[in-house]
Amino acid sequence: MEFTRRAGFDSRLQGRRGPVVTHLLLACSIVVAALAVLYGAVSPARAAGYEGPTGYAPGTVVISQSQRRLYLVTEDGSPISYPVAVGKSGKQWRGTVSIDGKYRNPAWAPPAEVKRAEPWLPDYIPGGSSRNPMGMRALTLTGGEYAIHGTNRPTTIGTAASFGCIRMYNRDIVDLFDRVSVGTPVVMMP
């Protein structure tokens, strides 16, 4: 008896074998990339494919409210991209400011406007508390009203949810915190 079929080969798939394998490889690479981001092997900032804004000096932070992205322009002009939450309707702003403070595990006292909207909040939340909406790091901005900070509400990233601050995943704010300094320009775009 002669065996005419190769193991694992079905002649009915012969015409579709190439695309099937290609689709399987693409699906596997997407799963591997997602797992790498999930387990911290690759930052979502590095995994993002969009090139971001151009024409800004290296070291500049550029925030696109419409794209819900924060970009840090690197020395070679290519940006590192991070997903963010921006101010909700009526709380968005634009302009150029700079970072005027860097804080690890910042404490937080809700501003009067936030306290009116969320009266159940305590008057003070210590740094490092899981209830602290500032997360693991905060970069305060000139003008005193806003900051770029981590969050205890990661599901809001990618939305318009804040009172004007820029929220980041905690792992991303830690990365950004280590890359910028006091005086770094921050450009807020619509």
Active-site residues: which are they? 149, 165
Q: Which two tokens stand for residue 95?
A: 């302009």
